[in-house]
C-alpha cells in the first residue's frame, strides 16, 4: 500500500464518526464518566499482552487501538480477530483481510485473552488519557559486559602475584636493616628472577613439579589452539559474534513472547534460493516508519535505520541521502564447499534453529552457533531420516518413483531399508561432489 493511501486511511480514521463522538463526549466533560475498575483492568491486560505492538493512541507495529471497537462494528467480530487473527482471516471476513493487507501482512499472533479481557482492553484504549506527569524517558545506560569467570581468575592471580612480589621486596629490605644493625654488610639486590632461581635451587623437588605443570599447561593450550583455528561454533569454542552497525536484537523481533516476526519475513531467500539473504533497511522501515523508539536503546539505534534510508522522522519524508548499512557477515563457509538453503528449508523442511541455534530466544546479538565443519554436515546427513514415500514434494516423488518402479531401484531400496529408514547419506548426502565443486 502506498504511503499516500496509508495517510488517507489514517486521516479517515481520525475523522471517523466514532472518534468524533468520543471527542464530543469528552469535551462535554461531565457526560464521560470513566469506570475506573474497568479502565485499570484494561490497562493491566493491555500492558501484559498488547503493548509490544500497539499503543492506545498512536500507530505502532499494529494500529492504535483507540476507536478500534467502533471500526469493527457491523464489519466483523473483533473478539474472534484478537483471539486468532489468522484463523479469522481464513474464515473469509473482508475487513480482516483488508486490515492484514494494509499492514504489510504482519501477523498479529493469537492472544490468550477472554472476551471480557478484550472488552476491558478496548475500553481502556477508548478512554485512554496519557499520564499527566509523564517525564521524558531517560536513555538506559549501556549495560556493562559482565566479565567471564576466566577473566576474574587471571585478574585475581595477577593481584596475588603483585602482592607476593612486593612482600618479597619488603622482606629483603627488612633483612638488610637487621644485618646493618648487626654490623654486617648488606646483601646484594638479586631481583625477583634471582629470588625465584635461588628458591628453585633450594627446593629442587617442588621446582621440578612446577616446571612440569607449566609444560603440560602450555601443551594443552597449544593443542586446543591448533584445533580451534578457523572453527567458530559448536560447544567447545567461543561462538563467533562480530559487532554490528545497529544493535539489532533477534530475541526482540523474532522471539515468540515478543514481536514474533517470522524469520522468513526478513530472510526471504531461505525458502527459494541458495542464500537466506539479509534484509535491506527498507524492510525495517515497514515498521520503523511508525516506531522510532525502543525500550532499551531509546531512539539512538533506530535513528541509524533512518540515516541508512535517508528518512527524516521530523517531517516524515525521504531526504534522498542514503547511507547503506554494512552488516558484518557471521557465517562463512569456505569457497570449496557448496551449501543451499532451499534444499534444507523447503525440501528437507528443517527449522532454522537446527543449524543456527536458539536465535529467537538467546541471541540479542547474532552469533554462529554450530561449527560448520564437514564433520557437522555429514553427521547430520548420516542420522537424519528422509521421508520419501507419500511426499508432496516433486523432488522426493521422483526419487520414490526411481526406487519403486525399476528393478535396480527396488534392490537399492531394500539395501537402504536394512536399518528401516532412508537417510540423507543413502540418497547421496555423503558424495563429495554434492558439496564440493
Residues within window 133-192 making contact with ligand HEC, judged by CB under 6 A: none
Nearer to ligand HEC, 95 or 172 (CB): 95
Cα–Cα distance measured from residue 172 to residue 179, given in angstroms and rounded to the nearest whole number: 11
**Vertex 69: Cα angle to 67 and 75 (nearest 5):** 115
Among 233, 311, 356, 422, binds ligand HEC (CB under 6 A): 356
Name, in order, each residue with C-beta under 8 angstroms of 294's C-beta and a sequence gap of 6 or more: 252, 301, 302
Cβ contact 66:148 at 8 Å: no
User: Any contact of residue 347 with ligand HEC (CB under 6 A)?
Assistant: yes
> How many alpha carbons lie under 13 Å from residue 19 in its C-beta half-sphere?
15
Give residues 91-120 in contact with ligand HEC (rule: CB under 6 A). 99-100, 103, 106-109, 111, 113, 118
Among 331, 342, 346, 391, binds ligand HEC (CB under 6 A): 331
User: Any contact of residue 412 with ligand HEC (CB under 6 A)?
Assistant: no
Cβ contact 75:95 at 8 Å: yes
User: Any contact of residue 366 with ligand HEC (CB under 6 A)?
Assistant: yes
* Among 262, 338, 299, 240, residue whose Cα is nearest residue 106: 262
Cα–Cα distance measured from residue 248 to residue 284, given in angstroms and rounded to the nearest whole number: 10
Q: How far is the CB of 169 from ligand HEC (least distance, A)?
A: 50
Q: Segment near ligand HEC (CB under 6 A), from 34-42, 77-85, 142-150, 189-197? A: 77-85
Name, in order, each residue with C-beta under 8 angstroms of 200's C-beta and a sequence gap of 6 or more: 207
Q: How far is the CB of 193 from ligand HEC (least distance, A)?
A: 42
Please count the residues of this chain forming the interface with ligand HEC, following the rule CB under 6 A: 105
User: Any contact of residue 309 with ligand HEC (CB under 6 A)?
Assistant: no
> How many alpha carbons lie under 13 Å from residue 232 in its C-beta half-sphere?
14
Nearer to ligand HEC, 210 or 374 (CB): 374
Cβ contact 338:437 at 8 Å: yes
Among 39, 41, 56, 62, binds ligand HEC (CB under 6 A): 62
User: Any contact of residue 333 with ligand HEC (CB under 6 A)?
Assistant: yes
User: Any contact of residue 426 with ligand HEC (CB under 6 A)?
Assistant: no
**Vertex 396: Cα angle to 390 and 400 (nearest 5):** 70
User: Any contact of residue 63 with ligand HEC (CB under 6 A)?
Assistant: yes
User: Any contact of residue 348 with ligand HEC (CB under 6 A)?
Assistant: yes
User: Any contact of residue 308 with ligand HEC (CB under 6 A)?
Assistant: no
CA dihedral over 225, 231, 236, 239, signed as positive or negative: positive
Q: Segment near ligand HEC (CB under 6 A), from 15-23, 181-189, 218-226, 296-304? A: 296-304
Nearer to ligand HEC, 181 or 329 (CB): 329
**247-286 footprint of ligand HEC as x/- string (CB under 6 A):** xxxx-xxx----xxx-xxxxx--x----xxxxx---xx-x
Count CB-CB contacts under 10 A for residue 335.
7
Q: Segment near ligand HEC (CB under 6 A), from 20-28, 175-183, 219-227, 325-333? A: 325-333
Cα–Cα distance measured from residue 344 to residue 355, given in angstroms and rounded to the nearest whole number: 10
User: Any contact of residue 382 with ligand HEC (CB under 6 A)?
Assistant: no
Amino acid at each position: 500500500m502506498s504511503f499516500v493511501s496509508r495517510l488517507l486511511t489514517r486521516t479517515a480514521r481520525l475523522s471517523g464518526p466514532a472518534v468524533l463522538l468520543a471527542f464530543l463526549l469528552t469535551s462535554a466533560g461531565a457526560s464521560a464518566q470513566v469506570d475506573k475498575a474497568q479502565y485499570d483492568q484494561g490497562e493491566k491486560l493491555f500492558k501484559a499482552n498488547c503493548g509490544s505492538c500497539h499503543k492506545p493512541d498512536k500507530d505502532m507495529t499494529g494500529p492504535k487501538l483507540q476507536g478500534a471497537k467502533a471500526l469493527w462494528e457491523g464489519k466483523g467480530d473483533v473478539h474472534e480477530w484478537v483471539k486468532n487473527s489468522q484463523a479469522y482471516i481464513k474464515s473469509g471476513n473482508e475487513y480482516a483481510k483488508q486490515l492484514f493487507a494494509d499492514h504489510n501482512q504482519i501477523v498479529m499472533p493469537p492472544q490468550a485473552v477472554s472476551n471480557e479481557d478484550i472488552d476491558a482492553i478496548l475500553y481502556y484504549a477508548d478512554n485512554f488519557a496519557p499520564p499527566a506527569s509523564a517525564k521524558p524517558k531517560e536513555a538506559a545506560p549501556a549495560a556493562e559486559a559482565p566479565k567471564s569467570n576466566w577473566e576474574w581468575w587471571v585478574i585475581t592471580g595477577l593481584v596475588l602475584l603483585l602482592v607476593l612480589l612486593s612482600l618479597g621486596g619488603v622482606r629483603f629490605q627488612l633483612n638488610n636493616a637487621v644485618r646493618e644493625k648487626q654490623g654486617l654488610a648488606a646483601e646484594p639486590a638479586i631481583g625477583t628472577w634471582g629470588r625465584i632461581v635461588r628458591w628453585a635451587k633450594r627446593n629442587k623437588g617442588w621446582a621440578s613439579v612446577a616446571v612440569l605443570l607449566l609444560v603440560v599447561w602450555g601443551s594443552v593450550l597449544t593443542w586446543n589452539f591448533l584445533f580451534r583455528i578457523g572453527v567458530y561454533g559448536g560447544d567447545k569454542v567461543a561462538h563467533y559474534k562480530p559487532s554490528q552497525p545497529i544493535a539489532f536484537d533477534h530475541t526482540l523481533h523474532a522471539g515468540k513472547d515478543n514481536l514474533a516476526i517470522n524469520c522468513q519475513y526478513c530472510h526471504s531467500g531461505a525458502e527459494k534460493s541458495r542464500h537466506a539473504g539479509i534484509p535491506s533497511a527498507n524492510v525495517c522501515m515497514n515498521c520503523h516508519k511508525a516506531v522510532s523508539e525502543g525500550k532499551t536503546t531509546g531512539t539512538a539505534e533506530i535513528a541509524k535505520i533512518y540515516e541508512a534510508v535517508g528518512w527524516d522522522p521530523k517531517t516524515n519524508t525521504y531526504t534522498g541521502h542514503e547511507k547503506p548499512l554494512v552488516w558484518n557477515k557471521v557465517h562463512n563457509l569456505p569457497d570449496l564447499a557448496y551449501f543451499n538453503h532451499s534444499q534444507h528449508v523447503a525440501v528437507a523442511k528443517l527449522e532454522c534453529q537446527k543449524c543456527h541455534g536458539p536465535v529467537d530466544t538467546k541471541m540479542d546479538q547474532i552469533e554462529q552457533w554450530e561449527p560448520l565443519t564437514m564433520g557437522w554436515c555429514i553427521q547430520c546427513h548420516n542420522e537424519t531420516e528422509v521421508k520419501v514415500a507419500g511426499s508432496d514434494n516433486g523432488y522426493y516423488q521422483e526419487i520414490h518413483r526411481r526406487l519403486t518402479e525399476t528393478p535396480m531401484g527396488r534392490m537399492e531400496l531394500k539395501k537402504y531399508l536394512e536399518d528401516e529408514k532412508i537417510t540423507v547419506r543413502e540418497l547421496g548426502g555423503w558424495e563429495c561432489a554434492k558439496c564440493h565443486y
